[in-house]
Structure 1
Amino acid sequence: MTTLFIADLHLSAERPDITACFLRFMAQETHHIDALYVLGDLFEMWIGDDEDSPFLRQVKQAFKTLTDTGTPCYFIHGNRDFLIGKRFSRETGITLLPEHTVVDLYGTPTLILHGDTLCIEDQAYQRYRKKVHNPVIQWLFARLPLSYRIKVGDKFRQNSGKNNQMKSQSIMDVTQTEVIRIMRDAKVTQMIHGHTHRPKIHNFEIDGIPAQRIVLGDWYDHGSVLVYNADGYQLETRNFNTPSSD
């Protein structure tokens, strides 16, 4: 059996090519798997569980079809969709996990997370993150009119792109000392995360013991999937232009 990991799809109605690849993946590759983990930024922006559209219903149905078969699907919030809540979970059957979660992958304890908490050199983002994860602010935001929240979300996307263009690549990447600190605290030697959009398997040591950090890829130019089973793991890509087998 196999466990699949994906992250950083940034699904939106404006990118039907990404959505088509995701729906094809869900329909064709999630049969007879042990579990599917989505490690954040499933959506380009999420402004509340009450938002609805044909695009969103299509995505939700893909998850519901999977979970209705009894296959578990787990989700960790990203920096773009941290407002996904209990209603979305009920409608899809997805289980929401804490931002840092240790899972057993065929005998290997593994820390899974989105990855933005590892980028501690980006102090401006960490200040922003602390603010928007304040439960009071989230409670107030959720009670604003949907139309206003959509405008706020659109403005955030524009500003985020501009701000990231002004930051160095090193600042937006993870800080290795923070990786080691968190892994040491969690008592693991393996970590899986997304966020940085830099798919790679990093090998290093923690207190003289071999360790691995597996970074998931984004879905901007092609799909990206970590395929993990008892025999090992591999980062794989999925072509947007591959026709459906249906």
Structure 2
Amino acid sequence: MPTLFISDLHLDVARPHILDAFDRFIVGEAMRANALYILGDLFEAWIGDDTDDEAGRRFITGMKPLRDARIPCFFIHGNRDFLLGEDYARRAGLTLLPDPAVITIGGRRTLLMHGDTLCTDDVAYQRFRALSHTPAWQRSFLSRPRDEREAFARQARAESRRYTTDVGNAALMDVSEVAVQAAMRAHGCLRLIHGHTHRPATHRFDLDGQPAERIVLGDWYEQESWLAV
């Protein structure tokens, strides 16, 4: 049976077609897998496990067939849902993994990442990411009232839309090949699977004299998208 990989669903009640597509995926392809890996940006935004998030409730319900069948599901945080915690993961049936993580499939070491840390040319984003992943920043943010956190998330999404539609930022939002190769060397892997960039493709190249590949997962805005290994 295959191991499945998905990312960048950006689940949101404002996009019911993606919620429906995910439900179909779970009762279809996922039920025939030996494991499912979600490589970040599962949700459009996540402002804390204490919020009564409708998309979050829908996800828990949709995942029930996998939980009942005891098919493991692993999750790596993305840049939109890095505040998803152990409490929600337990209720949804997710096992949290670090970013990056290394797994072995068919005897082959494979590096898994969300992909945002590979976009090293985007200095402003990397600066914010470093700050927002500190325990102090997260404690401060999660202590705020829900309406303040929701307002922050709305503003962040609006700024992200403006940033991504600026053609001058296109190169900044893609991965750096130097960062890709450094990560693969550091973890002793010749295969990397990641999401984040919404640029699905398989890139084959030479890494220190050995054949290597980088597989970029697709998003779910237009169609269901997954990788079966």
TM-score range for the pair, normalised by the shorter chain length: over 0.9
> Runs of 4+ in structure 1 displaced over 4 angstroms?
none
Q: Match for residue 146 of structure 1?
A: 146
Q: Match for residue 232 of structure 1?
A: none
- Contact kept? 1:67, 1:94, Cα under 8 Å: no
- Contact kept? 2:13, 2:54, Cα under 8 Å: no
Compute the RMSD of aligned alpha carbons. 1.1
Q: Distance in 1 between matches of 2:54 and 2:195?
A: 27
Q: Match for residue 197 of structure 1?
A: 198
Are 2:185 and 1:184 equivalent residues in the alignment? yes
TM-score by length of 2: 0.96
Q: Distance in 2 between matches of 1:146 and 1:66?
A: 31
- Contact kept? 2:8, 2:198, Cα under 8 Å: yes
- Contact kept? 1:203, 1:213, Cα under 8 Å: yes
Give unmatched runs, 5+ long, in structure 1: 229-246
Q: Match for residue 103 of structure 1?
A: 103
Q: Match for residue 170 of structure 2?
A: 169
Q: Give the superposition deviation at 1:227.
A: 1.0
Question: Which residue identity is paired with 2:126?
Answer: Q
Q: Match for residue 242 of structure 1?
A: none
Q: Match for residue 243 of structure 1?
A: none
Which secondary structure does the structure 1 equivalent of 2:112 belong to? strand
Q: Distance in 2 between matches of 1:102 and 1:53?
A: 31
Q: Match for residue 20 of structure 2?
A: 20
Identity of aligned pairs, percent?
Answer: 47
Q: Distance in 2 between matches of 1:99 and 1:68?
A: 27
Q: Match for residue 122 of structure 2?
A: 122
**Alignment length, in residue pairs?**
228
How far does the alpha carbon of each residue in 1:222-243 deviate from its partner, in whole angstroms, 9 at most, with x for none?
1110011xxxxxxxxxxxxxxx
Which secondary structure does the structure 1 equivalent of 2:101 belong to? strand
Q: Match for residue 63 of structure 2?
A: 63
Q: Distance in 1 between matches of 2:164 and 2:135?
A: 26
TM-score by length of 1: 0.90
Q: Give the superposition deviation at 1:165.
A: 2.4
Give unmatched runs, 5+ long, in structure 2: none
- CA gap of 1:55–1:181, structure 2 versus 1, over 3 A, is closer
Q: Distance in 1 between matches of 2:93 and 2:220?
A: 23
Q: Distance in 2 between matches of 1:223 and 1:56?
A: 19
Question: Which residue identity is paired with 2:11?
Answer: L
Q: Distance in 2 between matches of 1:175 and 1:162?
A: 22
How far does the alpha carbon of each residue in 1:197-243 deviate from its partner, in whole angstroms, 9 at most, with x for none?
01000000111100000000011111110011xxxxxxxxxxxxxxx
Q: Distance in 2 between matches of 1:56 and 1:168?
A: 31
- CA gap of 1:135–1:53, structure 2 versus 1, over 3 A, is closer
Q: Give the superposition deviation at 1:27.
A: 1.5
Are 2:217 and 1:216 equivalent residues in the alignment? yes
- CA gap of 1:10–1:171, structure 2 versus 1, over 3 A, is same
Q: Distance in 1 between matches of 2:53 and 2:171?
A: 37
Question: Which residue identity is paired with 1:134?
Answer: T
* The 10-residue stretch of structure 1 (33-42 or 55-64) with the greater mean CA deviation from structure 2: 55-64
Q: Distance in 2 between matches of 1:130 and 1:136?
A: 12
How far does the alpha carbon of each residue in 1:96-130 deviate from its partner, in whole angstroms, 9 at most, with x for none?
00010000011110000100000000111101111
Q: Distance in 2 between matches of 1:61 and 1:143?
A: 28
